[in-house]
Structure formats: C-alpha cells, structure tokens
C-alpha cells in the first residue's frame, strides 16, 4: 500500500483577491477571464491602483488548491513547490502543513520573493489573474522528492508549469519517474492561455499520454484546434485514458475509458469562480482514490465545486468539505 494517495507538483502562490468592476480591468489593460504573467513592478502597480479595495489573502496555486481539497476529504498527500524565506513563504508553508499536506519545504528556503497572484473578481463572478511567480518561477527538478513520488498512487501536475523551462522539465521528469514506478498520472490544462500560447510545451508534459486529464471546454477545444466540443472529446481520447471536461453551469463531461458520462450541475448563485476547476479535480481524484466510479466521483466533484463558487476564495473549510462528502458515502 502506497504511503500517499497523491503526489503533486505546482506553483506556490499567495492569492490576493479583490472584488473589482469591469472598468478596473479596462483601466489596467488586463485581459478578462484568463491568467496573465506579470513582473513584480507590474503587479505592484496593479495593487497600488486597487489599494482602496478590500482584499483577502490565502495560499493558492492551482495544483495546491486541488491537493489541499484532496487532503480535506481525507486523502494522504504530498506537494512539491518552491517558496522564499520571506513572510509570504512562511505563511504559505504553514497553511499547507495545517491543511495536512506533507511537503519538501520543512527546512531551508531560498532568498527572494514568494510568488503572488492578484485575483480580480468581477460582478459576473468571473476571475482574472495577474501572476508574479517570484521564486516559484525557478521551480525545478531540485524540488522533486523521488521517494515520496514513487510511494504514491497518483501523480498530479498543473499546466501552469509550462511557462517556465525549469518547471516544465521538472514536471516531465516527475511523470517519467511516475510512469516507471507504476504511479498513475494526471494533469490539468489550467487555463485557456496555457493552451493558446504553450500547446507544444503541454504536449511535452503529457508525453505518450496520461491516465487522467482535466480541462474546461475552452481548453479542451483549444487543444483540439476546434470550436466543436465533440471534436475536442475525440481528440482528448488520443492523449489521455480518461478525462473530465468542466462546463461551468452546464456540469461536466467525463470519459472513463469506455463511456462518455454527463455530470449534472448543482445549481447555485455563483459569487466567485476562483478555484472551481481546482476543487473539481481534487474532489474527482479523491473519489477515484477510494475506488469510486467516474460517475460517482464526478457527482462529488460537481457538488464540491458548486459549493465553492458561492463564496470568495479558492478553498472550502475542512468542515464544509466533510459535510459534502457525507452525502456521497
């Protein structure tokens, strides 16, 4: 029996979340609804523009959100990332460990700045992200803990790592180790811009194929080079043994390797969609780790992500997560 249910690798980012108007995006010249990489100066200018706006702070990063959700459901998790020896870095590590996740950062940390993500939530509950990676941009194979990876049932990585040569290579190396050790592999495409600008790099991370792929419908169609969802479904079957395509208020489509399954949405009043896909992935993977069917895991993931979007932030509390789980066990 493996020590960990899942081993993840991804960016370590402290989220700074603001509620803004559409006019703010126009003034700042930011593309709505996607993640844009910025340097420290650009991000500081954005934060100065928003200094009169209330904001909340929390540890984030796409894969980290999924891993912590997995842990809150009751799974055993390990997460490799890179933070600096600064206040945000210590804040991030405490949050990760408090979430029950083992990590590679118990001791020495690098000098520099821990990554930050300014999350702008507009009245339509859409999220726009401006990310300064800081030292997370230097994530590399040095952060991999091979012993923990080999002693896991699943390996999970995020598409956002494709933007850094070192991080992309770390993800590719981790998948190579996982494949060799018989560890199942999963990837999230993360963001339409990752598909639009870094498709070749994502294909390098996917390699000969993964066991499970997560995408929203725009990312899936972007990978297929088509505006037709059926074509995207057909294409994803060529690079992954199974997959989940999230469709917001329309639910999700799940391919279990033999059957295409419709996952019904849970109707709620959305306030903030930050982290919805991350929660879906974490909940879905937890269900599979318990031997559930793809249908049952998808229903749990739909319920959890629906609950998440009813409040600000990319996370639920452990109590909220356990309450959702009780309805499915």
Give the pLDDT confidence of 167-180 residue by residue, as tens digits. 999 999 999 999 99
Q: What is the pLDDT of residue 106?
A: 59
- Residue 153 domain boundaries: 4-11+62-106+139-326
Q: Is residue 196 scored above 90 in pLDDT?
A: yes
pLDDT of residue 313: 79
User: What is the count of structural domains for the chain?
Assistant: 1
The reported pLDDT for the residue numbered 149 is: 98
N-to-C CA span, the chain: 22
The arrangement of strands across the sheet holding 55-60 comes to 35-37, 127-132, 115-121, 13-19, 55-60
- Within a domain: 48: no
Per-residue pLDDT at 132: 94
pLDDT at 280: 98
Q: Stretch 80-89: mean pLDDT, rounded?
A: 93
Neighbours of 218 (CB within 10 A): 20
Is 301 part of any domain? yes
Is the pLDDT at 262 greater than 80? The verdict is yes
pTM for the model stands at 0.92
Cα separation of 37 and 46, whole Å? 13
- pLDDT of 107 over the 60 cut: no
Q: Which of 228-237, 272-281, 293-302 has the lowest mean pLDDT?
A: 272-281
Q: Is residue 97 part of a domain?
A: yes
pLDDT band with cut points at 50, 70 and 90 for residue 108? low
Over residues 10-33, the pLDDT tens digits come to: 999 998 889 899 999 999 999 998
* Top-confidence range, 106-110, 210-214, 314-318: 210-214
- Residue 75 sits in a domain whose CATH number is 3.40.1190.20
Mean pLDDT value across the chain: 94
DSSP 58-98: EEE-HHHHHHHHHHHHT--EEEE---BSSHHHHHHHHHHHH
Residue 54's pLDDT band (cuts 50, 70, 90): confident
27-48 tens-digit pLDDT: 999 999 888 999 999 999 999 9
Report yes or no on 32 lying in a domain.
Answer: no
Interstrand relation of 101-103 and 55-60 (parallel, antiparallel or unpaired):
unpaired
For residue 236, being part of any structural domain is answered with yes
State residue 102's pLDDT score: 95
Decide: 146 and 53 in contact? Cβ < 8 Å: no
Residue 325 confidence (pLDDT) above 80: yes
Q: Does residue 25 fall inside a structural domain? A: no
The region of weakest confidence among 109-123, 186-200, 287-301 is 109-123
How many whole angstroms separate alpha carbon 133 and alpha carbon 287? 31
Lookup: tokens for 278: 């991350």
Cα–Cα distance for residue pair 291/158, rounded to 1 Å: 23
Within a domain: 175: yes
Is residue 243 situated within a structural domain? yes
């Amino acid at each position: 029996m493996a020590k960990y249910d899942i081993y993840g690798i991804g960016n370590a980012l402290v989220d700074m979340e603001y509620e803004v108007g559409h006019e703010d995006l126009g003034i700042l010249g930011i593309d709505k609804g996607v993640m844009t990489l910025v340097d420290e100066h650009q991000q500081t200018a954005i934060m100065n523009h928003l200094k009169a706006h209330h904001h909340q702070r929390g540890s984030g990063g796409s894969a980290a959100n999924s891993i912590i959700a997995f842990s809150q459901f009751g799974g055993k998790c390990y997460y490799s990332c890179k933070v600096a020896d600064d206040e945000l870095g210590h804040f991030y590590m405490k949050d990760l460990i408090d979430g029950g996740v083992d990590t590679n950062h118990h001791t020495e940390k690098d000098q520099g700045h821990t990554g930050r993500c300014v999350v702008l939530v507009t009245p339509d509950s859409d999220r726009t992200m401006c990310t300064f990676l800081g030292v997370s941009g230097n994530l590399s194979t040095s952060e991999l803990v091979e012993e923990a990876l080999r002693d896991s049932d699943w390996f999970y990585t995020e598409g956002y790592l494709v933007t850094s040569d070192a991080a992309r290579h770390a993800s590719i190396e981790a998948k190579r180790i996982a494949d060799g050790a018989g560890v199942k592999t999963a990837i999230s495409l993360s963001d339409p811009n990752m598909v639009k600008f870094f498709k070749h790099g994502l294909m390098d991370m996917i390699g000969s194929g993964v066991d499970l792929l997560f995408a929203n419908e725009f990312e899936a169609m972007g990978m297929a080079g088509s505006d037709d969802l059926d074509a995207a479904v057909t294409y994803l079957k060529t690079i992954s043994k199974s997959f989940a395509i999230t469709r917001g208020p329309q639910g999700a489509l799940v391919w279990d390797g033999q059957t295409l399954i419709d996952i019904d949405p849970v109707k709620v009043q959305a306030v903030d969609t930050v982290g919805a896909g991350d929660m879906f992935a974490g909940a879905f993977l937890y269900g599979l780790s318990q031997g559930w069917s793809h249908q049952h895991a998808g229903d749990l993931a739909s319920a959890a992500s629906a609950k998440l979007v009813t409040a600000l932030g990319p996370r639920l509390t452990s109590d909220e997560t356990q309450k959702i789980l009780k309805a499915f066990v």
